[in-house]
Amino acid sequence: MSENIEQYLSQLRKELSGSDRATVQDAVSDAEEHLRSALEALRESQPDISEIEALPAIIEGYGTPAETAAAYQQIEERLGPPLGGRPQVKSRPALARFFGVFADPYAWGALLYLILSLVTGIIYFTWAVSGLSISIGVLVLIIGIPVTVLFMLSVRGLALVEGRLVEALLGVRMPRRAKYARKDVGWWQRLKPLLFGKRTWLALLYMVLQLPLGIIYFTLFITLITLALSLVAAPIIGPILHLPIVVTNNTLYYLPDWSTPLLAMGGVLLLTAIMHLARLIGRLHGKLARGLLVGE
């Protein structure tokens, strides 16, 4: 039997272990919202009732952790995890599948995200490193604590923004649970998870990692796209514009005309492969983001 709401939630989480992470998040935040609302409503008529006295009746109506977990699992079974896995592409011919990537919004989203990641990487890295060093630097002073707290809050905020970005462009669901501000604990208890909690530090790690990753993604994709586009343009550059492809001191090298259509075809294939690569790296990056930015 649960003695308080926190205990109920952790039992519920245990019952749901093995389910999709997003389902667990949904279930836990729904339960917390309901149980606290019910407790609040009960306290309007009986102001001094304690949580432990009130809870059995509330849970009687809401359902035990096992019953609640079963309700979520039943729906998950029927519908599949909430956006966790993308609907499987039905068996289409391999060629259609290969070129179909151009119609996949998440491939385009991933490409955009990966190229943008240089910019976001620079911002996150600068913010994380300078914020952290300023915070540590002024920690000996009296203003050190508020500066550090503000910085950590900004890290949480940026992590949320990045989560939205990942969700929109990479299609990886990044569930978030609005934290209930407990009134029965002091300000130190509330600050502790912010300063020492795993979530803030993992988010910081993610922000630092985003710069090297962003540089790699950006360089890789800009190089590949440039190469592919120049291949596609080969029939125009050679036979029509008569431009050489390599110029050394006094020698101009031209492509033989017959090779240019083949090169263009190679370019189209390469462009398609780039889209597949973007989607794949996007998925992997989404997993990383989910691992580091999503709590519990």
Q: Nearest Cα to 224, choosing from 267, 283, 169?
A: 267
The distance of closest approach from Cβ of residue 36 to another protein in the complex, given in angstroms and rounded to an integer, is: 4
Binding mask 163-182 for another protein (x = CB under 8 A): ---------------x-x--
| From 42, 49, 54, 63, residue interacting with another protein (rule: CB under 8 A) | 63
What is the secondary structure of 264-279 as a DSSP string? HHHHHHHHHHHHHHHH
Q: Is 71 in the site for another protein (CB under 8 A)?
A: yes
Distance (Å, whole) CA 169 – CA 282: 9
Q: Is 60 in the site for another protein (CB under 8 A)?
A: yes
Which member of 67, 164, 223, 229 binds another protein (CB under 8 A)?
67
Rounded to 5 degrees, what are φ and ψ at 240? Answer: -95, -50
Note whether 67 and 12 are within 8 A (CB): no
Nearer to another protein, 88 or 248 (CB): 88
Q: Interacting stretch for another protein, rule CB under 8 A, among 65-73, 136-144, 160-168, 286-294? A: 65-73
Eight-class DSSP state of 18: T
Q: Does 30 bind another protein (CB under 8 A)?
A: yes
Map residue 164 onto helix, strand or coil.
helix
| Distance between CA atoms of residues 42 and 163, nearest Å | 36
- Interaction residues for another protein, span 177-206 (CB under 8 A): 178, 180
Contact string 77-116 vs another protein (x = CB under 8 A): -xx--xx---------------------------------
Helix, strand, or coil (residue 252): strand
Residue with tokens 């309007």: 44
Residues that bind another protein (CB under 8 A): 26-27, 29-34, 36-41, 60-63, 67-68, 71-72, 74-76, 78-79, 82-83, 178, 180
